Amino acid sequence: MYHAPRGVCLACPQRDQCTKVKTKAGRTITRDDYEEERLRMRQKLVTEEGRAIYAKRKCLVEPTIGQLKIVNRLVQFLLRGILGVKIEFKWAAIAHNLMKLTRKVLVGEANPALAT
């Protein structure tokens, strides 16, 4: 984390490009280990193709994660370690997919060719 000393920003020639703060307090800049990933994502979202790809996420991924969290109560993992979490998530995904298949069969949306 970088914090400009008090009053330094007022005398800086790039102040208008750097900050909109009008007080004597200096600007604070925070960067962490994930800054490169954030920058890469911002660059993707600037392009039309990147926005189109990211917009699909609303329809594909986020409803499933929401259903896993609310319906299946998957708000935290019980197993420890990355391997345990991967296994637990795969079990939750299998249960979610089985519920979707069961719902389709009960409603009659299943493909009749597969039912025989």
Question: Smallest Cα–Cα separation from 18: which of 6, 41, 26, 30?
Answer: 26
Q: Is residue 61 part of a domain?
A: no
Q: Is residue 114 part of a domain?
A: yes
CA distance 114 to 15: 67
Question: Which tens digits make up the pLDDT trace of 89-110?
Answer: 999 989 988 988 888 888 876 5
Residue 111 has pLDDT above 70, yes or no: no
* Number of domain units in the chain: 1
Pairing of strands 28-29, 2-3: antiparallel
Q: Is residue 37 part of a domain?
A: no
Q: Is residue 86 part of a domain?
A: yes
Q: Is residue 92 part of a domain?
A: yes
Taking only Cα atoms into account, the Rg of the chain, rounded to an integer number of angstroms, comes to: 24
Question: What's the whole-model pTM score?
Answer: 0.48
**Domain of 104, in residue numbers:** 77-116
Q: Is residue 16 part of a domain?
A: no
Question: Which tens digits make up the pLDDT trace of 8-56?
Answer: 777 788 877 877 766 667 777 788 888 899 999 999 889 999 888 888 8
Question: Which tens digits make up the pLDDT trace of 17-29?
Answer: 877 766 667 777 7
Q: Is residue 18 part of a domain?
A: no
Residue 116 has pLDDT above 50, yes or no: no
